[in-house]
Structure 1
């Protein structure tokens, strides 16, 4: 019974895929105007900033952990 219910749920989920419309006006407009590159560059800058912040935070945490180990 569980297998049948699970199969039905999976079939219902995949039916939504057929309802998608491939005409995305905003993306087409941005691509035609050349502004899509601005959007991509902004996303890349934000991701690079987040990665740099996480690496610096990790570096500081390792330093604090090393100091705590030496104190104990």
Structure 2
């Protein structure tokens, strides 16, 4: 029960913080640079996602090879 209440209060506090106006974001939005920020963040997240998928593929391949040698 305490964990549920702590979680609810955390969500409420995050909601209150999100309603504050951020001058930097307003300025970026006014200058049209917010789209550049969103594009850069999207590219970074896409790169990380592709990297993780590539590593998962390599690990799966190594696991299959390892299972084949053990039998």
TM-score (ref. length: structure 2):
0.73
Distance between the aligned counterparts of 2:51 and 2:58, measured in 1? 11
Please identify the structure whose Cα radius of gyration is greater: 1
Can you give the 5+ residue segments of structure 1 that lack an aligned partner in the other structure?
none
1:64 is matched with 62
2:41 is matched with 43
TM-score (ref. length: structure 1):
0.72
2:51 is matched with 53
Can you give the 5+ residue segments of structure 2 that lack an aligned partner in the other structure?
none
Aligned residues: 64
RMSD: 2.5
1:30 is matched with 28
Secondary structure in 2 aligned to 1:67?
helix
